[in-house]
């Protein structure tokens, strides 16, 4: 069982370049999330989705866009990368939001460096 798979795992970009991170889950989860993790700051929510075709802003959405065209996939895009977007990005999914269905399942992370 693959769970949550993120690609790519590592990427180096130059300032101004664009890229897309792909997250795929095989658990038929409704909810999907993109977090970024920086030293001393914990996990901060970028965008999330409560179902196919829906997206919403999280805590730190600026400079990112997302799409959820298929239930199993959640894409995170950077249109014009900036050094401040150097981080480790985690995708997560869950059956629901909170309570007994609120457990998050995480991918292995994607380490992005913007020069």
Partner 1 sequence: EDQVTQSPEALRLQEGESSSLNCSYTVSGLRGLFWYRQDPGKGPEFLFTLYSAGEEKEKERLKATLTKKESFLHITAPKPEDSATYLCASPVGFKTIFGAGTRLFVKA
Q: What does the binding site for partner 1 look like in residue numbers (CB under 8 A)? A: 4, 31, 33, 35, 40-45, 48, 50, 56, 58-59, 90, 92, 94, 97-100, 102-109
Q: Which is nearer to partner 1, 14 or 42 (CB)?
A: 42
Q: Which is nearer to partner 1, 48 or 64 (CB)?
A: 48
Tokens matching residue 60: 């730190």
Smallest gap from Cβ 98 to partner 1, in A, equals 3
Smallest gap from Cβ 46 to partner 1, in A, equals 11
- Residue 5's nearest CA partner among 62, 53, 73 is 73
Strand pairing category for 10-13 and 4-7 = unpaired
In whole angstroms, give the CA distance from residue 12 to residue 52: 30
């Amino acid at each position: 069982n693959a769970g949550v798979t993120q690609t790519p795992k590592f990427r180096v970009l130059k300032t101004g370049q664009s890229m897309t991170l792909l997250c795929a889950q095989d658990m038929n989860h409704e909810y999907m999330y993109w977090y970024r993790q920086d030293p001393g700051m914990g996990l901060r929510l970028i965008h999330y989705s409560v179902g196919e075709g829906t997206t919403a802003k999280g805590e730190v959405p600026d400079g990112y866009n997302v799409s959820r065209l298929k239930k199993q996939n959640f894409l995170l895009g950077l249109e014009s990368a900036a050094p401040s977007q150097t981080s480790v990005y985690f995708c997560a999914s869950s059956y629901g939001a909170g309570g007994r269905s609120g457990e998050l399942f995480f991918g292995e992370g994607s380490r992005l460096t913007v020069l």
